[in-house]
Each structure stands twice: as structure tokens, then as C-alpha cells.
Amino acid sequence: METNFSGINREALNSKKIHTYDFKKALRFSQDQIRTLSRIHENFARLLTSYFSTQLRTYVQITAEKVEQVAYTDFLENIEKKSILGVFEAPPLNGSMVMKFSPEVAYVMFDRLLGGQGNVGQKPSDLTEIEISVINRIFAQSLGCFQEAWTSVIELTPELKEVEVNPQFLPMASPNETVIIVKLQAKIGETEGEIQLCLPHLVLEQVLPKLSARHWLASQKKAVEHEEVEVLERRLHATKMDVAAVLGEVAIDIKDFLDLKKGDILRLDESIDAPVKLYIDQKQKFLAQPGISKGRLAVQITGLCVEGEVCDEG
């Protein structure tokens, strides 16, 4: 070894930070993809905050804490006892994913939704039928938020398959399968806990090309532009416009104008059979004929005027 490193500055070599790499737990996701997943689930956390604040009628704050890739067995080993695990699928993605509520989060939700003050006590491992019904509803609504958060990447149709309390029964992936773990920190009232998502590499594999920052930002920009167009259209549809039907015009001297009195007749520059000119915000746009509709004066459009062309009377 002395001979191999004779030409290298030992101090510089020793200052290098060396990381241990486990080839059994290969990293399948690039840092760019991890950053995109972080942005997606930051939005997911905001959607969950809004939903749970309304449902639980108390202070709720959920934030995206960390997104990392680990082996599936590491995820299983770190699941707390009495956690509530929701196994779901999200076509067109193939395979199962897991959403996990820590015991503190799950049981404070049970208590609030069943009319309590959000007190967390010792709970048995087995869920009652009422609690199963409640947690199914919580998972279903949470998956709605998950679907919305992923819209910028892919249109998903999440569906809850089963609820488990024992991680050994999770039909997910092989122990060494690389999975994405999304950790969300949740605070409900005075209670703090964690919500986690486990997304296997095999499930996300078909959308990996769309998880680049460039693709995600382009999708976000398109969505914003589409939304802005819709807002502008709504505002335009509500815009008020002045419409004036002009029978004809005449030019007179100031002296004649000052001498006008009741019964005087002004000869217009249009014949009696000529169409009425219809102005929109002082610009002639249509030709029309006068008449009566439901007892009131009205005009019926008979032709279109294009700027720079002779009006076409249809």
C-alpha cells in the first residue's frame, strides 16, 4: 500500500469522506428523481393537511420530512407496533404500495372522528368493526389526495385493497427490493406522529422517466397555463359590453341644433329599408333589422361586419 500511494498527498487522502456502499442494496433512483418525488409529496402533505383539518375540526399540520430509498426489509423492521397499514394499488401502475399511520396519529384520528377530544390511550391490537370502517374512510380520502398530488406526472386511480396491523402479512416485495420511503411528520392538536408511504421500485419503474425535474416542471407549467386560460375565459365571459343599434346619422349646423324643438324632423342618411347598424363598444360588428320582442323594441341580427371589409348582410 505504501508504494501505491507514494505519489498522493496523504493529508488530502485522509480528509476525503468515504462512504460504505452495500451492493446488495443498490440505489435504483437518481438524486434528480428523489427531488421530484419530494416535490410531489410536499404537495401531498399540503393536501392532507387541508383534508384532515376539515374532518378532525382541530389544528393539523403535516409536512414532508424526508424521501429516501431503502431495502424493503428495512422498512418492515422500522414499523412501530400497533401501526395501521393500508395496502393499495394505483392503476395504471402495477403492484402494491403501503400507507402507514403511526399509532399516535391513527388513534387520535379515531378519537376525534368518533366524537372525542383526541385523547390517545392504550388501544388493543385488534381493530373493532367501527374502527375498521373509520380507517377505511380515512385511507380512501388520503388516497384521493395522493391521486391529486401525482396528477402532474401521471393520472392514477388509487384503490385501497386491505388494512393490516401486522407488517408480516404485507404482500409487497422481496426483502432486498429497493423501495421509496416518504416520511411525513404529522401534528394533530397536541399529538405528534408520522405518516409514511412505501413505494417499491418495481411499481414506480414505468414512470421513472417522468420523474426528472425538467419533465415535472414542464408539466407544472402546462397545468398553470391551462388554469390561467380558464380563469381569463371566465373573466371575459363576465365582461360587460355596450351595445348600440343605430338607425342612421345626420350632420347639422350648431345653429340648427340650437333651434331644434318638439315636432321637428331630421332626415337621416339611411333609407327606410336599410339595415340597422349594431355597434359593440363603439365598433360596428353587425347589421340588423328593427322589430318588437315581448312588447319591447328589439333588433334581429342579419349580417356580420368584418374589420376592413364591406359588411355582409346574410
Output the tens digit of pLDDT for each of the chain's 314 residues: 444 544 555 565 566 666 665 555 556 888 889 999 999 999 999 999 999 998 888 889 999 999 999 998 899 888 888 889 999 999 999 999 999 999 889 888 888 888 777 666 655 556 778 888 888 999 999 999 999 999 988 999 999 999 888 887 776 678 888 999 999 999 998 889 999 999 999 999 999 988 876 665 666 555 556 667 777 788 788 788 888 888 888 888 898 888 888 988 888 888 888 888 888 888 888 888 888 888 888 988 888 887 656 676 65
Task: Note the pLDDT of residue 5.
Answer: 47
Any domain includes 250: yes
50 within domain boundaries: yes
CA 129 centroid distance within chain: 33
Record the cell numbers describing residue 228, joined without a space. Answer: 390561467
Range of the domain at 289: 243-313
Together in a domain, 63 and 128: yes
CA–CA dist 193, 184 (Å, integer): 9
Pair 215, 277 in one domain: no
Say whether both 72 and 188 belong to one domain: yes
> Cβ atoms within 10 A of the Cβ of 269, count?
9
Chain mean position to CA 55: 20
- Give the position of cell 403535516: 62
The pLDDT of residue 250: 87
Would you say how long the chain is, in residues? 314
**What span, in angstroms and rounded, lies between the C-alpha atoms of 213 and 33?**
7
Per-residue cell: 131: 374502527
> What SS3 state is found at 291?
strand
Specify the pLDDT at position 280: 87
What's the structural domain count of the chain? 2
Residue 230 domain-assigned (yes or no): no
CA distance 117 to 189: 9
The answer to whether residues 250 and 300 belong to one domain is yes
- Contact (Cβ atoms closer than 8 angstroms) between residue 41 and residue 182: yes
Q: What's phi and psi for 251, nearest 5 deg?
A: -105, 125
**Owner of C-alpha cell 349580417:** 303
166 and 251 both lie in a single domain: no
The strands making up 96-101's β-sheet, listed across from edge to edge, are 60-71, 178-188, 191-200, 96-101, 84-89, 159-164
C-beta atoms surrounding 89 within 10 Å? 17
C-alpha cell at 62: 403535516
Residues 209 and 298 grouped into a single domain: no
- Per the CB < 8 A criterion, the answer to whether 110 and 131 are in contact is yes
Q: What pLDDT shows up at residue 150?
A: 93
Asked, for residue 59, whether it belongs to a domain, the answer is yes
Q: Can you give the pLDDT at residue 1?
A: 46
Report H helices in 57-92. Answer: 72-77
Listed residue (250, 100, 117) closest to 186, CA to CA: 100
Pair 160, 105 in one domain: yes
